[in-house]
Amino acid sequence: MIKPLLTLALLALSGIASVQAPSATTAREIASLFAALEASGCEFNRNGAWYDAFKASEHLQRKYDYLVKKHAAGSAETFIALAASESSMTGQPYKVRCPGKEAVDSRAWFQNQLLEYRTAKGHP
């Protein structure tokens, strides 16, 4: 599996990551993902340790800021793939565990949150 930073480098070299800044729509979608995580009451597993949603959000915000700085935050899907799915250091997938539910891969959890947001906004 290609690690996110390697993927980011490959995207930059190929010119795909030439987006200057996230669009207003993308920024709103990503903000909605942070808000959903923080309001969820879920825990977030990163490299074998569980963190509360607020700590997880802080960590993912730093990763998102890095993507923006590198002009690689072109869509909410890009954010999920490069920042919110796995550790850049170890390549281990992140997990989300919500009260009363089994842990799931964070990629699936965030994709579901994005779909819910878009559906609520009339953009499935």
36/48 Cα distance (integer angstroms): 22
**Structural domain spans, the chain:** 19-120
Q: Write phi, then psi, for 48 (nearest 5 degrees).
A: 90, -5
The tens digit of pLDDT for each residue in 36-79 reads 999 999 999 999 999 999 999 999 999 999 999 999 888 999 99
Percent of the chain with pLDDT over 70: 83
- pTM here is 0.81
Q: Is the pLDDT of residue 120 over 80?
A: yes
pLDDT of residue 124: 59
Which residue in 32, 6, 15, 19 sits closest to 87, CA to CA? 6
